[in-house]
Amino acid sequence: MKKQGLRIIAALLFLAGAIIFAYPLGESAVMEYRDRSTIKTFNEAKKEKENYDRELRTQFEEYNRELCEKGQDDLSDAWNYEDGTFDYDNTGLAEEVVGYITVPAMDIELPLYIGADEKNLTQGAAVLAGTSMPVGGENTNCVIAAHRGYRGAAMFRDIELLKPGDQVKIANLWDTLEYKVISTAIIYPDDLDAIKIIPGEDMVTLVTCHPYTKNYQRYVVYCCRQGTEEAGVKSETGKGWNVPVQLEYELSQPLIETEKILHIGGTVLLAAGSFFLILNLFLPAKKKKRRYYHGRRRKGYGGKDR
């Protein structure tokens, strides 16, 4: 009985370990389902009202013009959790979802919210306050922030996979804008000039924490609108861009890949161990084979027992 009790404890410990390892994977699945549902709801609402409020688009475009003309004095780091400066209450849209962002190289599709406040950043990607609304146009730079992973969801975790030429799509209420990655940079959180509007450019800039699991730098990806890439390519060396001098930094992707392997491998091993222990506990033990002789023992030649 004592041996069986130890086996039960071991099986429970293995099972608990498997659940702990699998928890982030389960959370990731839940978050991805939530994101898909939000995007589906957005697309359905957009389809119901095909020519969505043109007045709202005019407001967005006017906001972008004023932002460029007056400057971006209110710009602050995303993780200061500043609310959006655009008056969203009168738009008639639910939950401040203005569209969604698709990045094939990172295998993500995230709802896009207005204002990088704490709530929005836990639900998807968010347009940073004091930057352009995501409708494109000359003299715009829509800065989109997201966590470097949150509760199992990848979000911008794999941002280091992006390289020049990769595609970034922004679906808003009226159309889908396509951008190409031009360059990347590592900046300090207070280096706000590096993410401001660049005259003449139509840009989207992605921002997240760096290094992975830490928060003392920012990883920035600059993207130019397809059809206007030539201006960006000419500026790739930094001329005409507010790109800072490249900081020294450590790559996070090797750690991220190792973490993925450990989570999957650990879950599989612990689940397999739990399965075999439980199987051993509940299956009846095999009986030892015994030889039975009917009647007298067999005798060999000469009458002697064999």
Average pLDDT, 10 consecutive residues per value, the chain (306 residues) = 63 63 66 87 76 78 92 79 57 72 96 89 91 94 93 88 95 93 91 91 95 88 77 42 57 75 66 66 56 50 51
Domains of the chain by residue range? 53-252
Based on the number of CB atoms within 10 Å of its own CB, is 57 exposed (0-12), middle (13-18) or buried (19 or more)? middle
Whole-number pLDDT of residue 238: 42
Whole-number pLDDT of residue 97: 86
Distance CA 227, CA 16 (A): 53
Whole-number pLDDT of residue 93: 58
Q: Per the confidence metrics, is the pTM higher than 0.85? A: no
Distance CA 180, CA 175 (A): 17
Q: Locate 53 and state its tokens.
A: 């409020």
What 3-state class would DSSP assign to 232? helix
Q: Which helix (H) or strand (E) covers residue 18, if one does?
A: helix 2-48
Whole-number pLDDT of residue 149: 84
Domain 53-252, CATH number (from 2.60.40.1080, 2.30.30.760, 2.40.260.10, 3.40.80.10): 2.40.260.10
